């Protein structure tokens, strides 16, 4: 099938992109096109006007004031490989490497993934785990929206139709920081059935003093697991023994209640990601930990 007819504008200035978006109720941004083009080809999306943002200067990676600020046009492949992202936001690098396959990662963008809000997508879950901020630009100016409030439902966000995601912001990884993204997909390159992101920070004594976690593929939005893992005793823990891993897995599994296979999967992935995160925060290699998934 071919897309329905549409008009096309390639914006070179942010103001032009915003004006074009506001000019037509059926206008849509196109970034990497990896989600929108297939939907248009199937006629599940029929935008009257495509506003191409690829020429805007939003392919940026900056670190300032203890924050990593990433422009919305940063492609998945850059997130995966950029030395600054790998060092300062390793969870985003790990999440990006799990997206689809290389051809998808070469074109797909951070802003596109965030705005598209697929509940199975890795980057939205990683942003929720990191307590990140989405930067949305509209005619009224810039809105800073917590990732925890940004995702509303299946493919739905709080973004207004004439707003553009211009970037995201996450805290720079602390010195004793450990992060892990574990997921399971039936075949390499497929969307994951479920995935879990965990990020922790240890103090000098090895005690967990900060924690974030979220799951993808479980609900209609990324599921914030921060409270679940806190209640299971992760915050304040200095060791991830069997008992903590078991209680954490059981608590996380309950977020996927009603789907037995997914429940078990989410529990297992959470335990594995938590185990990795502690090993990495201690400066160890999390590979070969003996935790499945
Ligand atoms: C075969 C295949 C496998 C895939 N596997 C995965 C996977 O495993 N995990 C995963 O997360 N994704 C996967 N994807 C999707 C891929 O990651 C997309 O790149 C991503 O979801 C959307 O990014 P994009 O830049 O391509 O956005 P586009 O397709 O250009 O746009 C997607 C939507 O977001 C809107 N949009 C884009 N940019 C902005 C912006 N800056 N501001 C406001 N709105 C915007 C568009 O209007 C559109 O509605 C897969 C895609 C394919 C085709």
Instruction: Write the pLDDT tens digit of every residue in 176-202.
Output: 999 999 999 999 889 999 999 999 999
Q: How far apart (Å, rounded) are the C-alpha atoms in residues 212 and 126?
A: 9
Q: Which atom of ligand 1 is nearest to the CA of 35?
A: 29
Name the β-bridge partners of 184. 194
Separation of 37 CA from ligand 1 center, angstroms?
9
Q: Which of 59, 73, 99, 162 to mutate to test the pocket of ligand 1 (most atoms within 8 A of CB)?
A: 99
- With 60 as the cut, is the pLDDT of residue 293 above it? no
Residue nearest to ligand 1 atom 14, measured at CA: 100
Q: How far apart (Å, rounded) are the C-alpha atoms in residues 198 and 16?
A: 39
Query: Residue 259: what pLDDT?
Result: 80
Query: Residue 202: what pLDDT?
Result: 97
All domains of the chain in start order, with CATH? 7-51 (3.30.43), 61-171 (3.30.465.10), 177-281 (3.30.390.50)
In Å, how far are 119, 158, 182, 207, 245 from 115, measured between CA atoms? 11, 9, 23, 36, 33
- With 90 as the cut, is the pLDDT of residue 137 above it? yes
Average pLDDT, rounded, for the chain = 94
Residue nearest to ligand 1 atom 43, measured at CA: 164
Phi and psi at residue 128, to the nearest 5°: -65, -45
Neighbours of 258 (CB within 10 A): 6
Return the percentage of the chain with pLDDT > 90, whole number.
Answer: 89
Return the beta strands (E) in 13-121 as ranges: 27-30, 49-52, 61-64, 67-71
Q: Which atom of ligand 1 is nearest to the CA of 124?
A: 11
Q: How far apart (Å, rounded) are the C-alpha atoms in residues 144 and 36?
A: 25
Mean pLDDT, residues 216-238: 95
Separation of 78 CA from ligand 1 center, angstroms?
15
Q: CA 190 from chain center: how many Å?
A: 16
- With 80 as the cut, is the pLDDT of residue 61 above it? yes
Return the percentage of the chain with pLDDT > 70, whole number.
Answer: 97
Residue nearest to ligand 1 atom 23, measured at CA: 112
Per the CB < 8 A criterion, the answer to whether 126 and 97 are in contact is no
- With 90 as the cut, is the pLDDT of residue 142 above it? yes
Ligand 1 proximal residues by C-beta, below 6 Å: 28-36, 38, 53, 72, 99-100, 104, 108-109, 111-113, 115-116, 118, 121-122, 164-165, 191
DSSP for 105-124 reads HHH-BHHHHHHHT-TT-HHH
């Amino acid at each position: 099938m071919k897309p329905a007819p549409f008009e096309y504008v390639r914006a070179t200035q942010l103001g032009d992109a915003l004006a074009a978006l506001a000019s037509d109720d059926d206008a849509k941004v196109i970034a990497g096109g990896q989600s929108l083009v297939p939907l248009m080809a199937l006629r599940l999306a029929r935008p009257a006007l495509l506003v191409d943002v690829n020429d805007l200067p939003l392919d940026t990676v900056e670190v300032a004031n203890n924050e990593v600020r990433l422009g919305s046009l940063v492609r998945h492949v850059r997130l995966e490989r950029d030395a600054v992202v790998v060092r300062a936001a390793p969870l985003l690098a790990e999440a990006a490497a799990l997206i689809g396959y290389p051809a998808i990662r070469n074109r797909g963008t951070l802003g596109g993934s965030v705005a598209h809000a697929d509940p199975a997508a890795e980057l939205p879950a990683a942003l929720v785990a990191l307590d990140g901020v989405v930067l949305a630009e509209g005619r009224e100016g810039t809105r800073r929206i917590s990732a925890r409030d940004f995702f509303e439902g299946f493919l739905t966000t709080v973004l207004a139709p004439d707003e553009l995601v211009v970037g995201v912001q996450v805290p720079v990884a602390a010195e004793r920081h450990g992060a892990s993204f574990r997921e399971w997909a039936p075949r390499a390159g497929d969307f994951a059935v479920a995935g879990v992101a965990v990020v922790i920070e240890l103090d000098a004594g090895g005690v967990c003093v900060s924690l974030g976690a979220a799951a993808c593929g479980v609900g209609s939005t990324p599921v914030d697991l921060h409270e679940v893992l806190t209640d299971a005793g992760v915050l304040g823990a200095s060791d991830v023994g069997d008992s903590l891993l078991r209680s954490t897995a059981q608590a996380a599994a309950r977020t996927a209640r009603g789907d037995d296979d997914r429940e078990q999967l989410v529990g297992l992935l959470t335990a594995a990601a938590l185990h990795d995160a502690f090993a990495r925060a201690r400066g160890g290699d999390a590979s070969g930990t003996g935790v499945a998934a």
